Structure 1
């Protein structure tokens, strides 16, 4: 298996904002070439693009994208073995759930029944909600979702990352005035103060502070084949 190494030996001095927009990037007026915008692509998308593209390509990259990539190896799984594992797992779950259900069935005590009859339940909706769950999406300058962005709640150990769609949900409830920080390599860090209206439809945009333009050099980096024992162990791990 061969790894993929991307680099730009001679960065271009032209400004991206001066280019004319195209469907997959922008047109450089100086050299009349289309510059592909790779800044919002995932690692898998980059590998797929350059594995299918032949010839020279001019691109716009984040600094962290100019690195070496290792293509993932898909292991063929025997359907019969997969069905057998699924059946055994289902049987184990059924037996476990029945045992847990039998242990959790406890008769209600007389005291508990009297207490419930003696007081009226207070609807949860009457309580004053001072804290809330914060959800949202992080977008770049082109309004495209940004996966892998660090989202940190100030004054706590809460740290999460945006998913493939750029979305996040803090596990810890927040209140008005709390501060969250957003970090991503190649982008200006963002500080957001939770407002009274903030909820599940929050949209945060981040601006890129460093961009690299130029003709991409694609090099195949040799990776030695694994030994027979290692290949067997890799296949076993991929079964689970």
Structure 2
């Protein structure tokens, strides 16, 4: 059989966990094919699989299984050149010594049988280091994102952080590629994904609503407290009302009508309490610019 190499020409972007069916199989709706898990196959088993396949298949592979010649392990055989020395040696042994000697042929046949029954596994191969490179961008505008942390799921420490061009690089081993990684940047929704070399990860920005500048909309039912001193006014938190001396207050007005509260927008939806400060004490109020 000619040398065979597995080369990734059209990587699939589907996540392995997303295409798992209730029966345990993995079916890709994009290419309308069942995906075969080949990550546990040895070189000999991979050669046998592709030799007998009848149609194009989609498979899941380790990085160490690709871009190299697959090695075919030769079957264990007893050469005829060994039979003659064994036969001659048997003739040279006396009957008394033969009773003490264990039959070599039986032991050899047992070893030959075990060699045929034992199938090599990829786990018996030496662990190969691999380098995974990728880029993280904004899904909306494609802009490269810096300072994005890449960490393995279940761990706190970041294994890589993107540079100013959104690039990251990880030095892993084959087993690590079967783990999920978390891609996280404040202001963006984190992503859980498996890593492939040269992949582009797109983060989605968290949605925020801004009304008339930087504002915070409370979800409680408290009214809006507003302090007014002449032509100046500002809001005050309910927890700060105790700092106002009753002697400073000239009047308190409660606005409930929709027409009156509409001018204050969503912040005044639960009503507005307008506190007028006496002219003599207006200098005690510091209004923020």
TM superposition score category, shorter chain reference: 0.3 to 0.5
Q: Which has the larger radius of gyration?
A: 2
Using CA pairs under 8 Å that are at least 6 residues apart, name the structure with larger relative contact order, 1 or 2: 1
**TM-score, normalization: structure 1?**
0.37
TM-score by length of 2: 0.31
